[in-house]
Amino acid sequence: MRAIWKGSISFGLVNIPIALYPATRREELKFRLLRGSDLSPVNYKRVAEKDGKEVAWDQIVKGYEYEKGKFVILGEKDFQRVDLEATQTVDIQDFVDVAQIDPMYFYKPYYLEPQKGGDKAYVLLREVLAKTNKVGIAKVIIKTRQYLAGVKAQKHTLVLELMHFAQELSDSDKLNVPTKMEPGKRESDMARALVESMTSEWDPLKYKDDYREALLEVIEEKVESGGKEIEAKPKEKKSSSKVIDLVAVLQESLAKSAGGKKKRPGKTSKPSSRKAA
């Protein structure tokens, strides 16, 4: 795995040399756009709206639309005028209790690996964060853009998780959601019983991308059939989304949940032999 960024974590007078590695990966199936008549790949072109002509890269500039149809052009010198002094530093400005931060602020994690001479300070920061349940709130510049980020302890690793700035999150108060409605005691008790009956230990490997798996099956069938159309399998009928009797629906859900719990022991799912696309 190749580091995408190298620099240091800074808090107070402490400086820890680190490298940044992606902590997630996307396993999306990639498709090409083709012309239907001869399956020739279709490429994208940079075309000007005004006359429909293709534009070469050396003729393209960056513009900011400050009013409808009015732009100001920014060149390389304009971007260089922005203070990028802290480009190679994860500058921790505060330490905050993790429980105080709305999870919606966090959105993309990266692993932090100590570089030469940084092991002792790395372990020190990791242990302090773990024991105090705090997260270091920092600013970091990656590829010319500044991000808000949280430095967290996770098992034996420090994780840098990019965060939204407050102005980037939409206000949920604008949504038309019920606030004064209270559920009845019977519905509330049954809903709690249903939640408890469906409660289990967290196992991330239990959850699969069903859509990707099903799409891979369709692709394999089409490859084996030489690209011919394949008759779609009949889909299970879904129950109506219109809830007439909430108690009856909860009772039925409880019965199904209890039945599912009884059938689970002794059953193991076979790993798929299909190769990942």
pLDDT, tens digit, 9 for 90 and up, residues 188-247? 888 888 888 889 898 988 888 888 888 888 888 888 877 777 777 777 666 555 555 767
Helices 185-197, 246-263: inter-axial angle, 10-degree rounding: 20
pLDDT of residue 260: 65
pLDDT at 234: 72
CATH 3.40.50.2020 assigned to domain 5-26+82-168? The reply is: no
User: Residue 277's pLDDT is what?
Assistant: 34
Burial class for 100, CB neighbours closer than 10 Å (0-12, 13-18, 19+): exposed
* SS3 label, residue 187: helix
Phi, psi of 137 (to 5 degrees): -90, 120
pLDDT along the chain (277 residues), means of 10: 85 87 81 86 89 92 90 83 67 94 94 93 95 94 86 95 92 83 86 88 86 83 77 67 65 77 49 42
Q: Where are the domains of the chain?
A: 5-26+82-168
Instruction: Report d(CA 141, CA 198) in Å as an integer.
Output: 43
Model pLDDT, residue 83? 57
Q: For residue 132, what is the enclosing H or E element? A: helix 119-132
Q: In whole angstroms, how large is the CA radius of gyration of the chain? A: 27
pTM: 0.67
- Residue 261 has a pLDDT of 61
Q: Is 211 exposed, middle or buried (0-12, 13-18, 19+ CB in 10 A)?
A: exposed
Q: Which amino acid is at 260?
A: G
- Upper half-sphere CA count for residue 206 (Cβ side, 13 Å): 6
Q: Mention every residue, 6+ apart, whose C-beta is less than 8 A from residue 79.
A: 144
